[in-house]
A and B are shown apart, each in its own frame.
Chain A
């Protein structure tokens, strides 16, 4: 049983759809992260939450909207996406923000048609 789970594993959506990605960590961590992994590019940090408060937002378009209802769950709400948003979206968590090792989930492969 992995410590960080993500659902769905695969998602295909149209540009006008609204969908959400879910991440759950079972490690008792206090910080959670969203990363985007595009082909041929390094992983890009999108958002960071520490104790359910957003602490980093790295110039991400507003069509991506994160939500952290508690320290174990993290969502990424998607709306009006573009084809270039197709990527692998990875969630990670760490015991504390800024000082601890991050552990990753298996990712959601998103395809925007």
Chain B
């Protein structure tokens, strides 16, 4: 069974600094997607970034980038130039791209605090 693990329940970063959130996953599939979602206090789950497993190039969205290590089954999120609005809970998620399921498997989340 696929699993997603976020080993950091809480992280903090100084405003304008860089922080990296860790995520590891376990799967026997070779074709899948990985996601980072952000959930601020408003509770809206917002897609931050998406990575397709067959793409070797790491995805980037403005200040957000990932370090995707397929062999190690690692998918970390780097936030550069952290802003106060980045404070939220961050979820790593996995979805197989084979079979007939849209099921997202989530990690337990990392709460990010941004200090002014």
Contact = CB atoms under 8 A, between A and B. Distances in A.
A and B: bona fide binding partners = yes
Interface of A: 2, 31, 33, 40-43, 45, 48, 50, 55-56, 58, 88, 90, 92, 94, 97-107, 109
State the 8 A-B residue pairs at the shortest beta-carbon distance, nearest first.
A104-B45, A98-B102, A42-B106, A43-B106, A106-B44, A107-B43, A97-B102, A42-B108
Given A58-B103, A102-B104, 13 more contacts: A2-B44, A33-B102, A42-B4, A42-B91, A42-B106, A43-B104, A50-B102, A55-B100, A56-B101, A98-B100, A101-B33, A101-B35, A101-B47
A58 B101 CA distance: 12
Contact of B102 (A102, A107, A109): A102
Nearest to A98: B102
Interface residues of B, number: 24
B22 interface: no
Interface string B75-103: 00000000000000001000001011111
